[in-house]
C-alpha cells in the first residue's frame, strides 16, 4: 500500500484566536517554513514548538505556543493511503467523474437520498 503525507498548516491571530490563514503542503519543510515566517512576521519571540509523535515515533503535528499559552500556528500531518477502498455506494463513486454544476447537483441529490 502506497502512503503519502500531507501537511495542514493553520496560522492564528493569537489575540483573537481566529485562524488568519490555512494551507496544505506536500512537504514537511515547506509546511514548517510557512509556520516560521508567520512567527517571524508576528514577532512571536516567546513561542516554542510542541511536537507530537505517534506510537511509532512518526510526526503527528506541531503546535507553536507562546509562554502565555496562546496558539500562533499549528501543523497537522495527514496520512493518505492510495490503495484505500472506495465507497460501498456506486452513486458516490460516480461523483468523482462529475464537474461543476453536475457535481454540485450530484452531491445534493445523494445527500437527500442518503438522509
pLDDT higher than threshold 80 for residue 108: yes
- Give the tens place of pLDDT for each residue, 27-74: 999 999 999 999 999 888 889 999 999 888 889 999 999 999 999 999
Supply the DSSP string of the chain, one letter for each residue: --EEEEEEEEEE-TTT--EEEEEEESSHHHHHHHHHHHHHHTT-TTEEEEEEE-TTS-EEEEEEEETTS-EEEEEEEEEEETTPPPPS-HHHHGGGG--HHHHHHHHHHHHHHH-
Place of cell 447537483: 105
C-alpha cell at 1: 500500500
Mean pLDDT (the chain, rounded): 87
Residue 68 and residue 109 in one domain: no
Q: Residues 13, 36: contact at Cβ < 8 Å? A: no
Query: 39 and 55 in one domain?
Result: yes
Average pLDDT over every residue of 74-84: 80
pLDDT band (50, 70, 90) for residue 84? low
What stretch of H or E contains 6? strand 3-12
**What cell was used for 104?**
454540485
How many domains is the chain built from? 2
Joined together, the cell numbers standing for residue 36 give 516560521
pLDDT interval class at 81 (50, 70, 90) = low
| Residue 8: predicted pLDDT | 97
12-16, 26-30, 52-56, 87-91: which has the minimum mean pLDDT? Answer: 87-91
User: Are both 109 and 53 inside the same structural domain?
Assistant: no
Residues 45 and 60 in one domain: yes
Judgement on whether residues 76 and 103 belong to the same structural domain of the protein: no
Range of the domain at 46: 3-81
Name beta bridge partners: 11. Answer: 21, 73
Is residue 83 predicted with pLDDT exceeding 80?
A: no
Residue range 92-108: mean pLDDT, rounded: 84
Amino acid at each position: 500500500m502506497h502512503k503519502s503525507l500531507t501537511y495542514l498548516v493553520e496560522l492564528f491571530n493569537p489575540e483573537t484566536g481566529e485562524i488568519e490563514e490555512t494551507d496544505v503542503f506536500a512537504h514537511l519543510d515547506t509546511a514548517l517554513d510557512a509556520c516560521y515566517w508567520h512567527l517571524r512576521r508576528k514577532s512571536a519571540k516567546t513561542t516554542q514548538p510542541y511536537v507530537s509523535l505517534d506510537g511509532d515515533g512518526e510526526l503527528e503535528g506541531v503546535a507553536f505556543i507562546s509562554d502565555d499559552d496562546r496558539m500562533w500556528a499549528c501543523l497537522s500531518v495527514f496520512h493518505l493511503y492510495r490503495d484505500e477502498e472506495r465507497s460501498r455506494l456506486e452513486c458516490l463513486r460516480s461523483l468523482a467523474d462529475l464537474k461543476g454544476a453536475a457535481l454540485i447537483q450530484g452531491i445534493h441529490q445523494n445527500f437527500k437520498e442518503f438522509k
